[in-house]
A = this chain, B = another copy of it.
Amino acid sequence: MGARPTIHDVATRAKVSPATVSRLLNGSARVGPDTEAVVRQAMEELGYVPSRLAQSFARGSSRTIALLVDGDGQSLQGNAFLMTIALGLGDVLADADYSIRIINGHQAMRQNRQSAAEWTRDRWRRHEFDGAVITNPTMTDALIEAIGAASIPAVVIGRYPHAQGLVQVDVDNVGGMRMATTHLTEQGHRRIAFLGPPPSLTVSSDRRQGYMEALARAGIKSDSDWLLETEGTDLEAFSFEAAHRTMTSALNQPWSWTAVVACNDEMALGAVRALTEKGLRVPEDVSIVGFDDLPFAHMVTPALSTVHQDIRQLGQHAGRALLAAVEGKPVAELTIQTVSFVTRASTAKANAFDWALDLET
């Protein structure tokens, strides 16, 4: 058939005004039952679908939310996280007829020498999106602050200390780590190391705190020798390689712990590698727990005991919060999502010898 039918065509065919069709379409006002029937039939016959372009334009809103990513990051791991968040957002936002657009801040530089923050703000002003989701620590602090300052409705996933007025959604890092550590104490471990970056980011400090709390609750006096700190920039310090290096050098000196809690799964695997290279077995010689329950955590051998978080649900929380923010409704400043510990094969009971050793000291 010819060109795409417009609301006008429908109106003509149904012998009503376009206004009436529009009203029927989005229920903005009441329409008589017989009129409705006629119009619906006309729409049916013409196969009419309203142009979203025109709708957005007329309404002055694209009903789109932006998922801000920093596309230079090579981390496939992070990508899995992001896409899962995106799906969670979609679960919530699709019902409200919003769609999700991926905006890669890193491209700003390449394109117009603008800062990512300015660039994002411009795109917001161009009505490319109504609100944004930012994942920390993927994005730089400057960007997050700029978003806040421009008063763009936004939610930050992963806590961010300096965000003013920004809505935040995060998993219970301290609770999760407490559960992981407690699992080890319950298995009889008394000397437990923590492998992680220095507490410069909220994630790392929260997780370390959870470890500390669990120790305290179990009546164990923590030892600074048990703090295995990785090195590198913020993101590097969370990596497999950093964990492997730190663990290897720790094993080159005398050590006393029988279990290690790693700041995330990737680092747990780094530890496993280092241990294996020294001829030690997991979990027979040392138990290991991780955090995140990444997709591969149950596939590695031994399967990793770790803290599970429902990332898609996290995305849904973020979606709901953002929706409220965009529509100007009141929003909780901070939503913390609960996590759970899953016991697999990388942890085992502390053996009798270790018990004895511990009682001795």
Stretch from A10-18, A292-300, A317-325 that touches the partner: A292-300
Using A52-B127, A77-B296, A87-B104 as known contacts, list a sample of 14 further A-B pairs with CB atoms less than 8 Å apart, ordered by residue number in A: A49-B125, A51-B127, A53-B62, A53-B127, A56-B56, A71-B90, A76-B295, A80-B295, A94-B104, A99-B101, A99-B103, A269-B296, A273-B301, A294-B296
Task: Select the residue from A83, A84, A122, A298 with max chain B CB neighbours within 10 A.
Answer: A83
Residues of A within 8 A of B (CB): 4, 49-54, 56-57, 60-62, 64, 67, 69, 71, 75-77, 79-80, 82-84, 86-87, 90-91, 94-95, 99-104, 107, 111, 122-123, 125-128, 240, 266, 269-270, 272-273, 276, 294-296, 298-301, 303, 311
Query: B51, B111, B266: which contacts A299 (Cβ < 8 A)?
Result: B266
Query: B83, B296, B311: which contacts A300 (Cβ < 8 A)?
Result: B296
Query: Are A90's CB and B107's CB within 8 A?
Result: yes
With A80-B79, A80-B80, A111-B95: A240-B53 Cβ-Cβ less than 8 Å:
no
Give every chain B residue within 8 A of A294 (Cβ-Cβ): 76, 296
Query: Are B295's CB and A75's CB within 8 A?
Result: yes
Give every chain B residue within 8 A of A82 (Cβ-Cβ): 83
> Bound state CA distance, A90 and B61, in angstroms?
23
Query: B49, B84, B128, B299: which contacts A273 (Cβ < 8 A)?
Result: B299
Give every chain B residue within 8 A of A104 (Cβ-Cβ): 87, 90, 94
Query: Are B269's CB and A301's CB within 8 A?
Result: yes
> Bound state CA distance, A51 and B125, in angstroms?
8
> Bound state CA distance, A311 and B74, in angstroms?
11
Query: Are A126's CB and B52's CB within 8 A?
Result: yes
With A80-B79, A83-B83, A269-B296: A100-B99 Cβ-Cβ less than 8 Å:
no
The 9 closest A-B pairs by CB, nearest first: A80-B80, A76-B295, A79-B83, A83-B83, A57-B57, A296-B296, A52-B126, A269-B299, A71-B87
Give the residue name and chain of the B residue nearest to A124 (CB). B49
Chosen A-B contacts, 6 in total, with CB atoms closer than 8 Å, are A76-B84, A83-B86, A102-B102, A269-B301, A299-B300, A300-B300
Query: Are B111's CB and A99's CB within 8 A?
Result: no
Query: Are A49's CB and B79's CB within 8 A?
Result: no
Q: Min CB distance, A78 to chain B, in Å? A: 8
Query: Are A99's CB and B128's CB within 8 A?
Result: yes
> Bound state CA distance, A270 and B298, in angstroms?
10
Give every chain B residue within 8 A of A77 (Cβ-Cβ): 80, 295-296
Query: B53, B107, B296, B311: which contacts A57 (Cβ < 8 A)?
Result: B53
Give every chain B residue within 8 A of A122 (Cβ-Cβ): 49
Q: Min CB distance, A251 to chain B, in Å? A: 15
Give every chain B residue within 8 A of A86 (Cβ-Cβ): 83, 102
Query: Are B53's CB and A60's CB within 8 A?
Result: yes
Query: B75, B100, B301, B311: which contacts A276 (Cβ < 8 A)?
Result: B301
Q: Min CB distance, A322 to chain B, in Å? A: 15
Task: Select the residue from A53, A75, A122, A240 with max chain B CB neighbours within 10 A.
Answer: A53
